[in-house]
């Protein structure tokens, strides 16, 4: 499985222009109320518009449906966090904006996230994985 970052369309889906099986694109999002679903759906719509029947796109709520508790419940707190506890959200953001804290966070949550992600990837067999949530990327790259 290849992980792509900031590549031109022709590099990401070069075989989409040729006959054969549609390229499978898996888009990871979390329905937190923060626009992640809208971003994922916009990417899905753009890919289908650009590549029509040469691409198969699946959008999944990876955090809610494919990781272990308590991580699977984090999305439920997002709206409260950004609307009613902005001070706490700011503190988390400032903490997570430090490399050492990010490494610690990944090390802590990886055992709860990785098995579900790997199971999802094995079942979907994507050619390309797109994430609209930065936390996904860290766990995908580590795995």
Which pTM value belongs to this model?
0.75
DSSP per position, 33-97: SSSHHHHHHHHHHHHHHHHGGGEEEEEEEHHHHHS-TTGGGHHHHHHHHHHH-HHHHHHHHHHHT
How far apart are the C-alpha atoms of 54 and 139, rounded to whole Å?
A: 28
Instruction: Give 28-79 pLDDT, tens digit per residue.
Output: 998 887 688 999 999 999 999 999 889 999 999 988 888 888 877 887 788 8
The answer on pLDDT for 10 being more than 80 is: no
């Amino acid at each position: 499985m290849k992980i792509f970052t900031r590549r031109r369309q022709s590099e990401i889906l070069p075989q989409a222009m040729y006959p054969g099986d549609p390229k499978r694109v898996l888009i990871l999002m979390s329905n937190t109320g923060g626009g992640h679903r809208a971003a994922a759906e916009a990417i899905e719509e753009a890919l289908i518009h650009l590549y029509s029947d040469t691409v198969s796109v699946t959008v999944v709520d990876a955090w809610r449906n494919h990781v272990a508790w308590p991580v699977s419940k984090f999305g439920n707190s997002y709206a409260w966090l950004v609307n009613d506890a902005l001070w706490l959200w700011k503190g988390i953001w400032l903490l997570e904006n430090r490399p050492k804290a990010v490494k610690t966070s990944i090390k802590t949550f990886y055992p709860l996230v990785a098995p579900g992600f790997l199971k999802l990837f094995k079942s979907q067999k994507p050619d390309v994985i797109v994430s609209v949530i930065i936390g996904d990327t860290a766990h995908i790259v580590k795995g």
